[in-house]
Chains A and B, each alone.
Chain A
Amino acid sequence: MSNPDPRSVAFVRKTMLPPEPPPARASGAVLWLRENLFSGPLNILLTLIGLGILWLIFSTLWPWLSNSVWNAESMADCRKIIAAAHGPDASGACFAIIKHRWNQFVFGFYPSDLYWRPVLAFGTLFLALAPVLFADSPKARRIVTGLAVALTFVISAVLGATVVELGGMAILMLAWVYLIETRTGPVVLASLIYPFFAVWLLWGGTIWEPAMALAGFVLGFVVWRALSAYGMFAFAAAVVVAAFWWLALSDIVSRGIATVLPMRLAPVSSDQFGGFVLSITIGVSGIALSLPLGVILALARRSDLPIIKIMAVIFIEFIRGVPLITLLFVASLLLNYFLPPGTNFDIILRVIIMVTLFASAYMAEVIRGGLAALPKGQYEAADALGLDYWKAQRLIILPQALKISIPGIVSTFIGMFKDTTLVVFVGLFDPLKAMSDTIRASFEWKGAYWEPYIFVGSIFFILCFGMSRYSMYLERRLKRDHR
């Protein structure tokens, strides 16, 4: 300023200050340590105590882990090897049990010459999901589909699939990948057909059974579209037609076609399922079914129609108020009293239904939270533009509410997936308890307690951690607020 008189308040800026880069943040390992771990006497003390505890845990576990044996025929073998290598008092993990019984942990009692079927079902699951999960990231999608195809093929080959089976798998998967990369429309259809295909692969039998179940959905959809002008009536008619098809016709038709063109795979019954094949079957079905059901329940609970609202509240509060094990017992024992004698209602299907209902009650509350978090203005704007209830929900409300609810939804998924181990109480072979017990029951692996739990726990952790990471990726991808 030309006029340094301190009493002068008049001021006119002549030049604008140019923007400057922010100061470089002081950094360095020592500074970080001092700021975060040793900033004061109390912090120093807590840091030292923490380090002490870590050391205690590590020094106890490390010898056990580092002495672990991966190649042995029995528990006694393991102990001998450890004693020989590290002295008679050394303790060590015997992970040989995992290596030795690996197939049982993964496949339960699934016939060993058919291992390729669950592997293919699991591999194609990623082909069905990839177009949805990585809708606008072709790079991530290609990595996932590529890995799925390669691993499915290699693992099936290692597990002893025949050349014909391997050839069929290769053709199917490569055709699917081609479809994913070139056509966006038909790929959605392929993903919708996938559940029926997976059921056929897992349980075997003729392809026409799941195909006719699918036909019921198609029939219902056609009826609904044809009558869509009549609103709720169209929906009711579609449900009635589909139910009639499933109950009265689908069996006859599928048997009829099967006599002409069998398309059969060797059947596998539900009690041969076990281990991770069982957990993942129940978990994935439950996840896929509980989300739409949860959305419907959440909308019903916020509905203005009193009867629908009351029904939703009763359902949600009842299911949430009862332990999952109770529901599983109902599925396995009580239901038999109510069904006509001789009904063969598959136990895994019953468990899937119960797990789905259980998860959907939680899901509904999570989504209701998301719906409540939306500003009222969003509803009003949708109304003011003349969108009807379903269009407003589908286009405006749910996309935002579900995005807000992603962390809660994924938590529910993860909780449900871990809860699949509870099927041990209804006599199914979950990987954690029933499968480990079965393996321990054999003479050579008596006494192996920690190792199976650690192994199964790690696999669960990997799968759940994967879901958690995906949800964070999804949240980042859908971020729109630009704050």
Chain B
Amino acid sequence: MTSTQTASHPLGDTAIEIAKLNKWYGTFHVLRDIDLNVSRGERIVIAGPSGSGKSTLIRCINRLEEHQAGRIIVDGTELTNDLKNIDKVRSEVGMVFQHFNLFPHLTILENCTLAPIWVRKVPKKEAEETAMHFLEKVKIPEQANKFPGQLSGGQQQRVAIARSLCMRPRIMLFDEPTSALDPEMIKEVLDTMIELAEDGMTMLCVTHEMGFAQAVAHRVIFMDQGQIVEQNTPKEFFNNPKSERTKLFLSQILGH
């Protein structure tokens, strides 16, 4: 991670607006009064100890989790129980999972063309061209006709990124994309994500890769116990953390 991307990207209008978001699992209060505005082109890294609600937060943004109170507006569409709105938001927001979640019964190419063909109604040939374009971008076009089970973890995760990109999303969510990978493979996935960042994609990324946060993020958000404890530019966040909880977290994660 030698890239020295500076956090001086010109930011556009609001892409995601989250206000007074609250969520409970049963009686457990996972997210408490979350307020967050994301501008178009902004890159946010969300960090925090496990169980702090960071994954839940980004899963609320494409309604994989339902929220009980507060508002989430993605690209001008508010997430409610309206299924049409949910499908609209989901087709605009790409998501990359910790465990890749590729479809094992389809080839790499079919994984990438399925949603464009069936959701966007793109002709098959065009969808395949788009898919090959993005597979080249993540540097595995030669694997297009293999099945996910034949690929390494890092390759699978890059396919998962390509699969999301094929839908031409305006926002990308990453839910611990490198946590299930070997150290050697983490780099290849992070490099792909850095390239994506350089293209100006709006990104929300839950990760423990602090090097990535320093290199790419405009803003680092630290969460604990379902709340945003601290947010700042990466430079300030790492060099000059304000809250005690953040200092403790950083000393544990960077101290070894």
- Please report A residues at the B interface, Cβ cutoff 8 Å: 375, 377-378, 380-381, 383-388, 391, 395-396, 399-400, 403, 478, 480-483
Contact = CB atoms under 8 A, between A and B. Distances in A.
Contacts of A383: 62, 64, 90
A403 B105 contact: yes
A380 B101 contact: yes
Nearest to B160: A381
B104 A481 contact: yes
Contacts of B93: 384
A378 B83 CA distance: 19
B99 interface: yes
Contacts of B83: 388
A386 B119 contact: yes
B19 interface: no
7 pairs of A and B residues whose beta carbons are closest in the complex: A386-B91, A381-B101, A377-B101, A385-B115, A386-B90, A384-B95, A482-B149
A414 B67 CA distance: 47
29 contacts: A375-B99, A377-B100, A378-B103, A380-B64, A381-B101, A381-B102, A381-B103, A383-B62, A383-B64, A383-B90, A384-B97, A385-B114, A385-B115, A385-B164, A386-B87, A386-B90, A386-B91, A386-B119, A386-B167, A387-B115, A388-B87, A391-B119, A396-B103, A400-B105, A480-B105, A480-B149, A481-B149, A482-B150, A483-B149
A403 B164 CA distance: 26
Nearest to A377: B101
Nearest to B167: A385
Given A381-B102, A395-B114, 20 more contacts: A380-B97, A384-B64, A384-B90, A384-B94, A384-B97, A385-B91, A385-B163, A386-B88, A386-B91, A387-B114, A387-B118, A388-B83, A391-B119, A395-B118, A399-B105, A400-B103, A400-B105, A478-B105, A480-B105, A480-B147
Contacts of B94: 384
Contacts, number: 70
Interface string B63-96: 0100000000000000000010001101101110
Interface string B33-68: 000000000000000000000000000001010000
A395 B167 CA distance: 17
A378 B118 contact: no
Interface of B: 62, 64, 83, 87-88, 90-91, 93-95, 97, 99-105, 114-115, 118-119, 147, 149-150, 163-164, 167
Nearest to A380: B64
A180 B163 CA distance: 35
Nearest to A388: B87
Contacts of A478: 105
Given A482-B149, A482-B150, A386 B97 contact: no
B97 A377 contact: yes
A396 B110 CA distance: 11
Contacts of A482: 147, 149-150
A217 to B, nearest CB: 25
Nearest to A391: B118
Contacts of A403: 105
B199 to A, nearest CB: 20
A403 to B, nearest CB: 7
Nearest to B147: A480
A396 B163 CA distance: 14
Contacts of A378: 101, 103
A414 to B, nearest CB: 25
A377 B98 CA distance: 10
A386 B115 contact: yes
Contacts of A385: 90-91, 114-115, 119, 163-164, 167
A448 B81 CA distance: 70
A380 B91 CA distance: 13
Contacts of A480: 104-105, 147, 149
A482 B147 CA distance: 9
A388 B163 CA distance: 17
A403 B62 CA distance: 29
Contacts of B100: 377
Contacts of B167: 385-386
A403 B90 CA distance: 28
Contacts of B90: 383-386
A383 B95 CA distance: 10
B74 to A, nearest CB: 12
Contacts of A381: 95, 97, 101-103
A394 B89 CA distance: 21
